[in-house]
């Protein structure tokens, strides 16, 4: 739970990082709607501001557990998600899938 026992902490993630992208406009609208709902303490994470690596450590987080060497630069995203009760991903469709930025962040 977020700030108090009646408020869930919701993180809205902007999944696109493209120059001139529209994603932040949609994410702002989503965050505003969640604010109007009143049951959420809303936070935002923009993947364009996170240093997301395409190259990953040898072991997967599932296998390495707490010993997983989290890529530097991902700290802000990790702590935002760790503190969240729920999250919404605002993503475009690129070539019939979601963008590489989002896939890399999930991985
Ligand atoms: C490289 C690229 C590929 C796209 N591929 C698709 C697609 O496969 N299907 C679709 O419906 N829209 C596609 N679109 C349109 C985007 O999903 C749409 O413009 C979206 O709002 C872009 O979000 P963004 O501005 O945050 O990047 C594509 C746009 C780009 C730039």
Please report the pLDDT score of residue 95 as a whole number.
98
Provide the pLDDT for residue 32.
Answer: 98
Domains, the chain, ordered by start: 8-106 (3.40.50.360)
Sheet of 8-14, strands arranged across: 40-46, 8-14, 86-90
Give the predicted TM-score (pTM) of the model: 0.91
Q: What is the pLDDT of residues 12-53, one digit of tens each?
A: 999 999 999 999 999 999 999 999 999 999 999 999 999 999
What values do phi and psi take at 46, rounded to 5? Answer: -105, 115
Out of 13, 92, 95, 99, give the residue to mutate to test ligand 1, the one with the largest number of ligand atoms within 8 Å of its CB. Answer: 92
Compute the distance from residue 82 Cα to the ligand 1 centre, in Å: 29
Q: What is the largest CA-CA distance in the chain?
A: 44
pLDDT in tens, 46-93: 999 999 999 888 888 889 888 888 888 888 898 889 999 999 999 999
Which stretch of DSSP H or E encloses residue 100? helix 100-106
- CA 50–ligand 1 middle distance (angstroms): 21
Cβ(22) – ligand 1 distance below 6 Å: yes
């Amino acid at each position: 739970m977020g700030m108090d026992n009646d408020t869930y902490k919701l993180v809205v993630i902007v999944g696109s990082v493209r120059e001139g992208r529209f994603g932040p406009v949609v994410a702002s609208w989503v965050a505003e709607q969640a604010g109007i709902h009143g049951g959420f303490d809303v936070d935002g994470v923009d993947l364009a501001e996170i240093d997301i690596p395409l190259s990953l450590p040898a072991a997967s987080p599932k296998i390495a557990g707490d010993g997983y060497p989290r890529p530097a630069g991902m700290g802000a995203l990790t702590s935002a998600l760790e503190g969240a009760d729920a999250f919404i991903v605002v993503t475009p469709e690129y070539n019939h899938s979601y963008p590489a930025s989002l896939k890399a962040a999930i991985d």
